[in-house]
Amino acid sequence: MATAEAPVDEAVIDQPLLERHKKPVCLIVLGMAGSGKTTFVQQLTSRLHAKNKPPYVINLDPACKEVPYPVNIDIRDTVNYKEVMKQYSLGPNGGIVTSLNLFATKFDQLITLVAKKSADTDIAIFDTPGQIEVFTWSASGTIITETLAALFPTVVVYVIDTVRSVSPVTFMSNMLYACSILYKLRLPFIIVMNKIDVVKHDFALEWMKDFDVFEKAVNGDESYHANLSRSLSMALDEFYQDITTVGFSAVTGEGFEAFLKAVDAAVVEYETDYRPEHDRLQKLQAEERTKEQNRQKQKFKSDFEKDNERQIPSSQVSDIFLRHRAVGGESSSDEEGQEGNPEDDDDEEDGAGYKSFHKYLEEQKKKQQSKPNKVNKPSSS
């Protein structure tokens, strides 16, 4: 039995696993409901059109009634959200998840369309549903994100409502969610502090840089949430150092240029950090698949050889079959005596059975003859 595995085909592993494109840069826009995510996409699209660099925009929210910006691909043209809810008896969130799952089955066609626009478009914007958890933690969201990241430079844009984040507890909740998304998706990440036309985001930057400043903001609150936020702020210190944060106004467009610079830096991070790691993992997976195929081949070969060893040679099988008397075969002289004895015994048994049955019939006949004949005489009238 062969135990050594066949060598891994290096040519198969070293060949390009996927056809990548340098552009467009895919921006996956995430954000809590009411954070101004859709308005941010509208302002970003408008500004890029004004610079004669129109983006390729994809709407992934099946539940929205209207889209306030020009869309190249709309999930609502493929999936009817209300019909999905009726057909599968689902609620709002379940309908969104199911709609995304159905759309993900055709996502290869979207990839083809985006790739065709790679020569003319620098940025592709993906507007996700307002229910952030529906996209972030669903299977369809993972499929969409990983597929884009494998083929195009991909950046996650997390939009935060600056006005609501004035509260330290709310700010910490947003940072925790951003941290969880970052470590789940493992892609270049940009935090966009939206609505800076109402409240400047300087306070948030200070909280992220200096723990003492954040602690002073929390000192007036002795609740459990405040104490938890104070502790988490120290734990997120490393997260703050590596994250990119920009201020933006979805109404006035303030911070647009700073955002584009952050995107350029994120693309460099994608090329230097994410892409090599992705290639390494893909190569390891290819090696494991090749080893598993070789192992299965060896196992099949070994099992096949064992089966052949246990089987009777075909020449012996045909020889035994031809020697059988039922088909008129002749047996050899040296085996004739061995094969004849069992058939002679069968003949003797058949003869004995016939004699015993004949004897039984004779006895029954004698018994019938020995009985007196009783004839019923007709009665006289």
Q: Within a domain: residue 320?
A: no
Confidence of residue 54 (pLDDT cuts 50, 70, 90): very high
Tell me the C-alpha distance between 375 and 107, whole Å.
101
Please give the Cα distance from 139 to 136 (Å, whole number). Answer: 9
CA 107 to chain centre: 13
Residue 287 CA to residue 6 CA, distance in Å, equals 12
Q: What is the pTM of this model?
A: 0.71
Per-residue pLDDT, averaged over 156-185, amounts to 92
pLDDT > 90: what percent of the chain?
A: 49
Is 216 a domain residue?
A: yes
pLDDT at 191 over 60: yes
Residue 278 and residue 269: Cα distance in Å, rounded? 13
Higher pLDDT, 8 or 98: 98
- Give the structural domain span for 148: 25-283
Report pLDDT for 260.
95
Residue range 68-81: average pLDDT? 94
Look at residue 327 and tell me if it is in a domain.
Answer: no
Where does residue 211 rank: exposed (0-12), middle (13-18), buried (19+ CB within 10 A)?
Answer: middle
Q: How many CB atoms lie within 10 A of CB 349?
A: 10
Tokens 């003319």: give the residue. 120
Into how many domains does the chain fold? 1
Structural domain includes residue 17: no
Q: Of 77-81, 340-344, 355-359, where does mean pLDDT reach its minimum?
A: 340-344
Does any domain span residue 270? yes
pLDDT in tens, 298-344: 888 888 888 777 765 555 555 555 554 544 545 444 444 444 455 55
For residues 154 and 271, the answer to whether their CB atoms sit within 8 Å is no
Q: How far is CA 209 from CA 160, 250, 291, in A?
A: 18, 25, 49
354 pLDDT higher than 50: yes
Evaluate whether residue 82 is within a structural domain.
yes
| 319 domain-assigned | no
The CATH number given to whatever domain includes residue 153 is: 3.40.50.300
pLDDT tens per residue, range 197-252:
999 999 999 999 888 898 888 887 777 878 888 888 888 888 888 889 999 999 99
Residue tagged 């083929």 (tokens)? 151
Residue with tokens 């700010």: 171
Residue 55 lies in a domain: yes
> What mean pLDDT value characterizes the chain?
82
